[in-house]
Amino acid sequence: MRKKLVRFGTYVALMGILMSASASVVDADSMQLMEDRQKSLSSNIALKDAKSALADAKELENMFKDVASFYEQKGNASDAVNWSKENREIAGVVVAQALATKDFDTASRQSVTMAKNCKACHQLYKSQE
């Protein structure tokens, strides 16, 4: 019986570690990476490099998923969640489709929209940290 309790306790502890490790972490470093990727996206769109821009957009899509998850877990940050979800959709669908058809004007406008959403979010939530 004691071995079973020890195994169960070990299992619970490991699950706790795994669950906390899988939780999204959004810090200054991850935000800087996102900003750098956003700049790369804009640059690649301006250069009409659809392949590199698409890679940037897909990476941003994943990053915005993490940001949305982080703010959902944090709570009391519905604007941040909404902006993150909107940017995820823009990056993963709208920009990706525009790049697939070589519509660099639409891709550029949508990239600017993402940057504006980021700025609005930072203005609202960065001061709270």
Q: 94 phi and psi, to 5 degrees?
A: -65, -55
| Spatial CA neighbour of 79 closest among 49, 107, 120, 112 | 120
What pLDDT, in 10s, does the model give residues 1-50?
666 654 655 544 444 444 444 446 788 899 999 999 999 999 999 999 99
> Where is average pLDDT lowest: 25-34, 51-60, 103-112?
25-34
Domains along the chain? 25-128 (1.20.120)
- pTM for this predicted structure: 0.79
What pLDDT, in 10s, does the model give residues 38-53?
999 999 999 999 999 9
Please report how the helices 50-74 and 28-46 are oriented relative to each other, as an axis angle in degrees rounded to 10.
Answer: 150
